[in-house]
Amino acid sequence: MKTDGLSINLATVRQQFDLKAGVEACLRHGITAISPWRDHIQTTGVAEAARIIRSNGVRVTGYCRGGLFAALDAPGRQAAIDDNKKMIDEAATIGADCIIVIGGGLPQGSRDIAAARGMFFDGMAAVLPHARACKVPLAIEALHPMYAADRGCISTLAEALDLCDALGKGTGVVIDPYHLWWDPDLAAQIARARSRILAHHICDWLVPTKDLLLDRGMMGDGVIDLPAIRRMVEDAGFHGHQEVEIFSAENWWKRPGDEVLKTCVERYNTVC
Amino acid sequence: MKTDGLSINLATVRQQFDLKAGVEACLRHGITAISPWRDHIQTTGVAEAARIIRSNGVRVTGYCRGGLFAALDAPGRQAAIDDNKKMIDEAATIGADCIIVIGGGLPQGSRDIAAARGMFFDGMAAVLPHARACKVPLAIEALHPMYAADRGCISTLAEALDLCDALGKGTGVVIDPYHLWWDPDLAAQIARARSRILAHHICDWLVPTKDLLLDRGMMGDGVIDLPAIRRMVEDAGFHGHQEVEIFSAENWWKRPGDEVLKTCVERYNTVC
């Protein structure tokens, strides 16, 4: 079965594999692209992570996840900016195609989502010169509106693209159907995104969804018309990897990692 | 404390009171407006429900909930249309200000949300002449995008207003901050809504939210800036009731109904 164009976000096998084991498992299944999270890299050590990635010849389609700039006070915001700059250095070292950045939630006690969005913009503007210097694009991921309070206050692709318009070179967007599939404006916004599409994530929306965060579905097990969204993405000019990202505490995280990867390959060939 | 302008959606005390007990409990707390659900009316009987409502002099700020027109086949869609017409008759009999209509989810096995949205439009168009004849406005409620698959495929206020534009006289919208608070376009769309605002629901978004449907919060316990949204609604020209609608399986539905209503009055005075 085809594995060209398939990438595995290592969150999908978070409970089964660390970076090294995850890379080796992907290669067993013919998958040559991954997307690690920060803890994968930091646990392994950045230099050793880069060595594992390079010596195995795997592509890094994204590095998860930065952003989250909103904080109660200026020192908190500065700490987030500094940490994002450090993450940009790590991304350059491991050769990631981009960093995935999310809005972050409201600061503790705040009910001002517009202010949180403003802090996200300011944080992006503060780190962008360093990202450009390191040639690491920042891919803004609009998260599903159910995460607006505590995870990602950037909620629509339109909003993410408005931010790209305002921030300029070095920014782009992630298309993740899990977060965006419901949007009546999706087709128009994907067409608008064009060359700013930096990554394309896939998983599925289960009915019922039992947990807001950790009950995402394998492609084909839910209600998202993934081929339709893939065509929109391709029509917009993006022909990069489809990256499987599934948070599934009660199902896929409990299965053997090789079974999960085998299923990803099968569904990639039959569903996506 | 002030109770003018406060309405109680009886779903808030669904586990505690039927229609008659709910009306009597509201009156004990000085609340003279309610919004019943279909089962409240059908269990009581429409004529008896109308008698209870009239004899107690309570206002009915809405009747929940119609719509849900999407179905797998034509007989299924016709059954939904017929049922909505019956509901319109019931609304006229009990003197409801409007019927709350929601999009409904995808038909079983479908991944075509655009088709479901089309069926909603067609169903609305089919029942609208009857609604106009009975002088019962249909208030479209955009539901939070997390309900798009299985409950309400109309997901944004912009989409609801586009439907009103297309359907014309006899249609309007509900402003429910629970469903809409995250929307970066909210202020502009509420301003656009103007005289089409037919109802204003209130509750709060809890952090964390433990259940997609049944973990809504009492006003003040979550992160929604309710006064800011109320000002938008008033600036758009709506000065009707604020209707408390809280689905809360593990908290408010387990407390004594009078405690719930007392808290609604307190929070209405201090938070909203």
Tens of pLDDT along B222-236? 999 999 999 999 999
Closest residue, chain A, to B227 (C-alpha):
A111
B107 to chain A, minimum CA–CA distance in Å? 10
pLDDT at A233: 98
Q: Does B109 touch chain A (CB under 8 A)?
A: no
Q: Is A165 part of the contact surface with chain B (CB cutoff 8 Å)?
A: no
Q: What is the mean pLDDT of residues B158-181?
A: 98
Tokens of B61: 């700020």
pLDDT for res A207 = 98
Question: Are B207 and A150 in contact (CB < 8 Å)?
Answer: yes
Among B110, B146, B183, the residue with its CB nearest the CB of A144 is: B146
The whole-number average pLDDT for the span B71-87 is 96
pLDDT of residue A240: 98
Express each pLDDT in B183-203 by its tens digit.
Answer: 999 999 999 999 999 999 999
| CA–CA min distance A219, chain B (Å) | 12
Question: What's the rounded Cα separation, in Å, for the pair B259 and B249?
Answer: 15
- Among candidates B105, B182, B212 on the partner chain, residue whose Cβ is nearest the Cβ of A209: B212
Beta strand pairing status for B6-9 and B242-244? parallel
pLDDT, tens digit, for every residue of B39-63? 999 999 999 999 999 999 999 999 9
Q: Which of A111, A179, A229 is the best residue to mutate to test the B interface, defined by the most B CB atoms within 10 Å of its own CB?
A: A111
Give the pLDDT confidence score for residue B153 in this predicted structure. 98
C-alpha distance from B164 to closest chain A C-alpha (Å): 15
Q: What is the mean pLDDT of residues A235-248?
A: 98
Rounded average pLDDT over A68-95: 97
Pairing of strands A171-175, A197-202: parallel
Taking CB atoms and an 8 Å cutoff, what residues of chain A touch B149? 182, 205, 207, 209, 222-223
Helix axes B19-28, B257-270, angle to 10 degrees: 50
Say what the pLDDT of residue B99 is: 98
Do the bridges between strand B6-9 and strand A242-244 make them parallel or antiparallel, or are there none, so unpaired? unpaired
Flag whether residue B149 sits within 8 Å of chain A, measured between CB atoms: yes
- CB-based contact B181 A113, cutoff 8 Å: yes
Across the interface, do B212 and A207 touch by the CB < 8 Å criterion?
no
Contact A146 B181 (CB under 8 A): no
Tokens read off for A125: 């503007």
Residues of B with CB below 8 A from A156's CB? 183-184
> Structure pTM?
0.97
- Mean of the pLDDT values across residues A202-215? 98
pLDDT at residue number A60 = 98
Segment A92-116 shows an average pLDDT of 97
Residues of B within 8 A of A176 (CB-CB) are: none
* Short-list A190, A114, A156, A105, CA closest to B157: A156
The predicted model gives A137-166 an average pLDDT of 98
Whether A155 has its CB under 8 Å from any CB of chain B: the answer is yes
Two structure tokens written together for B24 = 């009597």
Element spanning A37, H or E = none
Confidence of residue A56 (pLDDT cuts 50, 70, 90): very high
Instruction: Tally C-beta pairs within 8 A across A and B.
Output: 83
Average pLDDT in the A187-199 region? Answer: 98
Q: Mean per-residue pLDDT for B253-257?
A: 98
Q: CA of B109, closest CA in chain A: separation in Å?
A: 8
pLDDT score recorded for residue B9: 98
| pLDDT confidence of residue B86 | 98
8 A C-beta contact, residue B157 and residue B200 = no
What b-and-e string marks burial along A135-165, b requiring 16 or more CB atoms within 10 Å of the CB?
A: ebbbbbbbbbbbbbbbbbbbbbbbbbbebbe
Average pLDDT, chain B: 98
Q: What is the DSSP letter of A195?
A: G
The tens digit of pLDDT for each residue in B17-34 reads 999 999 999 999 999 999
Complex ipTM over 0.95: yes
Q: What is the pLDDT of residue B231?
A: 98
Chain A residues inside the 8 Å CB shell of B184: 117, 155-156, 158-159
Q: Do B71 and B108 form a contact (C-beta atoms < 8 A)? A: no
CA–CA dist B259, B252 (Å, integer): 9
pLDDT score recorded for residue A88: 98
